């Protein structure tokens, strides 16, 4: 069995260039942490990674604290990352916390709900977007080890786990712990550049086990129908 999973996304016979800048493939068993403040682009990167992994024959699950399934399908379709066919075929499993958890359970029980949701962790790749929003009332420094040990057991089976977090949503101690224990660490920012204006950058702060060359920083924009686009200079998001 191959030891990595490809990030290459082909549409109409062409790639978008992101896989090549991100090391082309992710080693099996990786825990991936993507941090950024609100509106920086964490979800669009999850959607981009997810559709490429689905396209390359893998199964994915996705927890969203932002979208219902209807809104998620509309969003991914609008940026060219349509996952409807994979949802219908059973290769893609989607959970909206707005629907599944928020209506029935208090937020301080969400950690227990996550740890006991077996179906979520059945696929090859798991996306939790965003972990800080999901667990900001149930995760503490006292039960943090329980969660990190759980993720270690999941990745120990070869599965890949993507986590996103907003550093403003939970304690700095917890945020820094995830930066330390993860195999791959992405940091997404919105920055002001003199003479250019606001630019959006993604930094690869850490990539343990990288098999191919990767770029430490990429400037990007998001375009309707196309999704993520590499920019050589700053543009509006």
pLDDT of residue 99: 60
Domain count across the chain = 1
Give domain status of residue 235, yes or no.
no
Parent domain of 42: 4-230
**Full pLDDT tens readout for the chain, 237 residues:** 679 999 999 987 888 999 999 999 999 999 999 999 999 999 999 999 999 999 999 999 999 999 999 999 999 999 999 999 999 999 999 999 876 554 566 777 889 989 999 999 999 999 999 999 999 999 999 999 999 999 999 999 999 999 999 999 999 999 999 999 999 999 999 998 887 788 999 999 999 999 999 999 999 999 999 999 999 754 444
Q: Most distant CA pair in the chain: distance in Å? A: 51
Give domain status of residue 237, yes or no.
no
Q: Which residues contact 115 (CB under 8 A, 6 or more apart)?
A: 146, 147, 150
Give domain status of residue 87, yes or no.
yes
pLDDT of residue 51: 97
Give domain status of residue 236, yes or no.
no
Coil, strand or helix at 228? strand
Task: Check if the beta carbon of residue 60 is closer than 8 Å to that of residue 49.
Answer: no
- In a 13 Å sphere around the CA of 180, the CA atoms on its Cβ side amount to 7
Give domain status of residue 46, yes or no.
yes
pLDDT of residue 161: 98
- In a 13 Å sphere around the CA of 38, the CA atoms on its Cβ side amount to 5
Q: Is the peptide bond before 177 cis (omega within 30 degrees of 0)?
A: no
Give domain status of residue 25, yes or no.
yes
Q: For the domain that residue 167 is a member of, what is the CATH number?
A: 3.40.50.300
Q: CB count, 10 Å around CB of 77?
A: 13
**Alpha-carbon distances of 116 from 60, 76, 134, 147, 177, rounded to whole Å:** 18, 28, 14, 11, 22
Query: Model pTM?
Result: 0.93
Helix (H) or strand (E) holding 64: strand 60-64
Tokens found for residue 234: 């700053």
Give domain status of residue 63, yes or no.
yes
Helix (H) or strand (E) holding 187: strand 184-193
């Amino acid at each position: 069995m191959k030891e990595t999973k490809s990030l290459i996304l082909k549409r109409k016979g062409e790639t978008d260039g992101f896989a090549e800048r991100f090391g082309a493939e992710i080693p099996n068993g990786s825990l991936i942490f993507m941090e950024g403040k609100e509106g920086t682009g964490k979800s669009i990167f999850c959607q981009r990674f997810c559709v490429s992994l689905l396209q390359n024959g893998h199964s994915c699950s996705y927890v969203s604290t932002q979208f219902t399934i209807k809104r998620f399908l509309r969003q991914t379709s609008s940026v060219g990352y349509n996952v409807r066919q994979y949802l219908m075929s059973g290769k893609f499993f989607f959970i909206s916390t707005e629907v599944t958890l928020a209506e029935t359970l208090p937020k301080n029980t969400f950690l227990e709900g996550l740890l006991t949701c077996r179906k979520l962790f059945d696929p090859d790749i798991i996306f939790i977007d965003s972990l800080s929003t999901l667990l900001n009332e149930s995760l503490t420094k006292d039960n943090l080890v329980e969660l990190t040990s759980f993720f270690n057991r999941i990745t120990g089976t070869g599965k890949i786990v993507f986590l996103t977090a907003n550093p403003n949503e939970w304690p700095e101690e917890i945020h820094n712990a995830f930066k330390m224990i993860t195999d791959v660490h992405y940091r997404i920012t919105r920055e002001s550049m003199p003479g250019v204006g606001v630019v959006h950058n993604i930094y690869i702060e850490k990539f343990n086990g990288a098999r191919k060359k990767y770029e430490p920083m990429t400037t990007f924009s998001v375009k309707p129908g196309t999704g993520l686009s590499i920019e050589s200079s700053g543009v509006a998001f």
